[in-house]
Structure 1
Amino acid sequence: MSARDAQIIANKRQLDLVKVAPNANPPVCKLMDYGKYKYQQTKKEKEARKKQKIIEVKEIRMTPGIEDHDFNVKVKSAQKFLKDGNKVKVTIRFRGREMNYTDIANDLLNRFAEVLKDDGIVEKKPVIDNKNMFMIISPKE
């Protein structure tokens, strides 16, 4: 039908004439209450945003000379963060001459990842950035 006839029908029913497929030949239109449609769309978007899970990155800092007990405390904290669904950034800070012992720090980070292999996956392998070495562990799904 012609656009004029469709507009007359829409006016009689107090609805809007909305083009669904304007590029089709002939264009496809639909009779609807556009205000109500927009309202429902915003409600759906708001509901979808409520259900989103925001993932935070929690940071755990250590030094290359960390003792076993302190290491275990850091591991327990990381396990808690991973169970909550957050990513964990494990950082080793180097001070002074500790920069010469990057292999010790690398072993420490690998040991940390090995202990957490049941709870998380290494997302980013150990990387040196200035006076820090870090890796990122994400939770298993």
Structure 2
Amino acid sequence: MINGQIRDKEVRLIGEDGEQKGIMPIKEAMRLAQEAELDLVKIAPKAQPPVCKIIDYGKYRYELARKEKEAKKKQKTVEVKEVRLSPNIDTNDLNTKVNNAKKFISKGNKVKITLRFRGREMAHVQQSKHILDDFAELLKDIAVVEKQPKLEGRSMSMVLTEKR
């Protein structure tokens, strides 16, 4: 709330240079703000009495937006990368997939390993679970299993994340 939108009888006022002006009626606070050719902005509405500050409102909004943008810049988004395997994968192919997963994990991403079954391969689902276990075993030095292997339709998947 700014200027005329403030409906409280008394407010605690902070001057434009940050010093406490004390508790005063709203009309007195408005007069001081107008003399300084600045806005009266309510910064702590829940306080008793509410806290208002004499500042340039446009500059205040700009500062808030800049702080928000700065906070967004620092946060990191974690992507989930997927590595697909088949039940009859050979050792060298598995090692290649493990190396790809290592790259993803070292960049800070999560890796979803999916073992896809086609046609008659569905009859050997339990025998193929060891492939996912081997995969996790090969990456145990840099990754931990976040989500255990689970069969979902025609694919079995698990999720690995970086060790903390």
Unaligned 5+ segments in structure 2 are: 1-23
Q: Which range moves more in the overlay, 27-36 or 5-14?
A: 27-36
Unpaired stretches in structure 1, ≥5 consecutive residues: none
CA RMSD of aligned residues (A): 1.4
2:42 aligned partner: 19
Number of residue pairs the alignment of both structures matches: 141
Identity %: 51
* Residues 105 and 133 in structure 1, CA contact (< 8 A), matched pair in contact too: no
Residues 26-35 or 53-62, more deviating: 26-35
Structure with the bigger RCO (C-alpha within 8 Å, sep 6+) is 1
Q: Within 5 A, what are the aligned runs for 1:43-122? A: 43-122=66-145
Aligned to 1:9: 32
The normalised TM-score by structure 2 is: 0.80
Point out the structure with max Rg over C-alpha.
2
Indicate the residue corresponding to 1:137 in structure 2.
160
TM-score, normalising length from structure 1?
Answer: 0.92
Structure 1 position 77, deviation (Å):
0.8
Alignment partner, residue 62 of structure 2: 39
Alpha-carbon contact 1:64-1:94 (below 8 Å) kept: yes
